[in-house]
Structure 1
């Protein structure tokens, strides 16, 4: 019988997955290592340092050590000096704002009084005296003018002049109070808000600045398709196996066909009678099987060579009267 090729063993899915995972992890570590590039500029530097390791375990129980890197930013000496001075200034403003908050605690607990009575009081306290002084001077000037004209106090002309003066003063006072009412409201609100605005300004100058981070450049290496390579290799082996099986089947079919026609007889198997010889298989007893054509014509056939048979089964070979060997296949394939 012609030996049947042994089929290749299919890849173990678990081992294939583990190989792919290991390749992916190695590629990821390589990508990370290429991406962490130290940067140096006139304003400062950015350096990456390995500060530890993280252990990762896959589904198969295999562990990997993943490097952990930290980024360190450093100012130039000049920028560091500016930064330190700015921080001291902001800290001073923050302390000053904190001190000021004690002074306004009472203000925050009191409602703003914009009632008519309080607004009128504010006008009287801050501006009414100036208005009255101006009209007192105007009245003195009127008295002097009337005296210069010979109009004495208590006369009808004098009383008429005073009534006119009082009417103008009252009208001016009403107009003045109306104009000053909105000013008084704004002034009351300003006095209330002034300390709050001062603290807000101090706090805005003492805000903590969030650190700025430099984006890390990335360099990507393609992942090796380890699973694909394993499967491709298996498919190639299977293709070779299929071809070998086909050749083996062809050899067996041809040999059996030859045995069927020559069973109990002798076949011309001398190598000298054949051409286009190529080995296509092996019998279970070790004899090579060949495809060939007879030199005197005919199709491709499958069979043995007498010189091979003579070495293992000499009783299955004899030399014909024509000088060429014959092989008794029934004995040769035993």
Structure 2
């Protein structure tokens, strides 16, 4: 079998250099596309290449010329004329501000004079008000005389019936444990001869068709017959269960009839006890009504005493509130006098503050005028619109190289899998695979290339597995010959499911 080589992996530095070259070329092209010249009513914006810079790739050492650009902004004739006039005006204002700034030296050299300012208010001349304290409250009545005892007990009206006689036992269980095995056995005894006869007929029919036990068609037929026999047996079990359910239903109905009779007797005894208790409750209600009438009379006497005491306390409280109101009015007059003095003091302070603000304004006005002369109007810059330039996307050259390599590796693995399938057709043939009998071994795609010891260098290489490695995962596919060397059954190796060797 000829030698098969895996595809060569791409060289990372070579791929990186190619990717860098592609990216730089794309970036330069995008620069040419993005530098769009613009012309507006207020001016224009022009891009021009003014030189190049050398850049060396640190990976590959390649040198690239990177263009440099200059953006030039030019005003329209009208805006340029405005700018010239504004520059001249700003120069004149600056000269005027320079000449007027000499006044500040004399102005700032004079100290601030407060001789003519109004006098400030004197807080010491404002007297605090002397308030009148509130008097203590009146003495109120806090207790009432005895209005009589409240009756809190009711005479005995008789005993309440709390229990009932025995109305009979309740049936809580019933027999539903009929043995289903009798019905199952009866059905099975009737069914088993027929199933055995059907199985014998099927085996004879399969033998007549030339199907031997163990073949796939024979096993499918036997499996289908077995499922039918199991379905028949399950049907017999279900029929036996249904018969048991019918007998359980009869037992349940009998127990229900007995419990209904017991419930009827219990209800009659309950009605008799409730009648006796109703009569006792009626006697208790009459006794309770008598006591409530006596307590109502006592409550009326208590309410009259409470109303009298409440009236006296209300009169005393009203007199107390009148005195408190008079005291509050006197204190309010004192507050009014104090507030008037505070208002006079605030008016004096406001007059003084107004005078000082006017003096500050006179002093700051020349300074503000000179500051305003130093600021001039600004020229309108052109408003350039954002351009929608075209751009070239970067090419993933490294990804393309890697994908091409992955495709080649996939094709190689597919070829190696085809070789494995050919080896799998050697079912029952144990080939010499002991690693001690091989030389020039090289692992490729999960299999080994090798020559047997004793073969020349020019002999074609073979492809296969190492028996020692297979023995660890598929010991059933490895055998030893009389020479002590291991051999592998390739048909068993490639068709049998993977089974790990037990520890």
Q: TM-score under structure 1 normalisation? A: 0.51
Q: Determine whether 1:191 maps to 2:386.
A: no
Q: By how many angstroms is 1:78 displaced?
A: 1.6
1:56 is matched with which residue? 55
Question: Structure 1, unaligned stretches of length 5 or more?
Answer: 121-177, 261-283, 287-334
Deviations 1:128-177 (Å, cap 9, x if unpaired)? xxxxxxxxxxxxxxxxxxxxxxxxxxxxxxxxxxxxxxxxxxxxxxxxxx
CA contact (8 A) 2:104 2:367 kept: yes
- Equivalences for 1:143-292 in 2 at 5 Å? 185-205=356-376, 214=384, 217=387, 219-248=390-419
Q: By how many angstroms is 1:64 displaced?
A: 2.5
Greater share of strand: 1
Q: Relative to 1, partners in 2 of residues 1:224 and 1:50: Cα closer, same or farther, differing over 3 Å?
A: same
Q: Distance in 1 between matches of 2:367 and 2:90?
A: 18
Q: Determine whether 1:112 maps to 2:122.
A: no
SS in 1 for 2:26: helix
CA contact (8 A) 2:54 2:66 kept: yes
1:33 is matched with which residue? 32
SS in 1 for 2:395: coil
CA contact (8 A) 2:38 2:384 kept: no
Q: Distance in 2 between matches of 1:109 and 1:20?
A: 74
Q: Distance in 2 between matches of 1:109 and 1:237?
A: 93
CA contact (8 A) 2:44 2:382 kept: no
CA contact (8 A) 2:56 2:62 kept: yes
Q: TM-score under structure 2 normalisation? A: 0.35
Q: Distance in 1 between matches of 2:424 and 2:357?
A: 115
1:68 is matched with which residue? 68
Q: Relative to 1, partners in 2 of residues 1:233 and 1:84: Cα closer, same or farther, differing over 3 Å?
A: same
CA contact (8 A) 2:53 2:65 kept: yes
Q: Distance in 2 between matches of 1:78 and 1:36?
A: 26
2:19 is matched with which residue? 20
Q: What is the number of residues matched between the two proteins?
A: 202
Q: Distance in 1 between matches of 2:78 and 2:380?
A: 20
Q: Distance in 2 between matches of 1:96 and 1:103?
A: 12
CA contact (8 A) 1:49 1:69 kept: yes
1:46 is matched with which residue? 45
SS in 2 for 1:6: coil
2-11 or 218-227, larger mean C-alpha shift: 218-227
CA contact (8 A) 1:35 1:216 kept: no
Q: Distance in 2 between matches of 1:243 and 1:200?
A: 87
Q: By how many angstroms is 1:209 displaced?
A: 6.7
Q: By how many angstroms is 1:119 displaced?
A: 4.5
- Equivalences for 1:126-137 in 2 at 5 Å? none
Deviations 1:162-212 (Å, cap 9, x if unpaired)? xxxxxxxxxxxxxxxx99977754543333112101111112226x77967
CA contact (8 A) 2:42 2:381 kept: no
1:97 is matched with which residue? 97
Q: Distance in 1 between matches of 2:351 and 2:419?
A: 118
SS in 2 for 1:204: coil
CA contact (8 A) 1:112 1:192 kept: no
Q: Distance in 2 between matches of 1:15 and 1:111?
A: 83
Q: Distance in 1 between matches of 2:397 and 2:359?
A: 80
SS in 1 for 2:72: strand
Q: Relative to 1, partners in 2 of residues 1:210 and 1:81: Cα closer, same or farther, differing over 3 Å?
A: closer
Deviations 1:265-301 (Å, cap 9, x if unpaired)? xxxxxxxxxxxxxxxxxxx889xxxxxxxxxxxxxxx
Question: Structure 2, unaligned stretches of length 5 or more?
Answer: 119-348, 432-457, 461-503
CA contact (8 A) 1:31 1:221 kept: yes
Q: By how many angstroms is 1:58 displaced?
A: 3.2
Q: Relative to 1, partners in 2 of residues 1:249 and 1:98: Cα closer, same or farther, differing over 3 Å?
A: same
CA contact (8 A) 1:46 1:71 kept: yes
CA contact (8 A) 1:4 1:245 kept: no
Q: Distance in 2 between matches of 1:111 and 1:196?
A: 16
Q: Relative to 1, partners in 2 of residues 1:250 and 1:180: Cα closer, same or farther, differing over 3 Å?
A: closer
Deviations 1:91-140 (Å, cap 9, x if unpaired)? 22122222322321233344422x2x2548xxxxxxxxxxxxxxxxxxxx
Q: Distance in 2 between matches of 1:110 and 1:70?
A: 56
Q: Distance in 2 between matches of 1:56 and 1:209?
A: 41
Q: By how many angstroms is 1:234 displaced?
A: 0.8
Q: Distance in 2 between matches of 1:180 and 1:229?
A: 88
SS in 2 for 1:45: strand
CA contact (8 A) 1:96 1:202 kept: yes
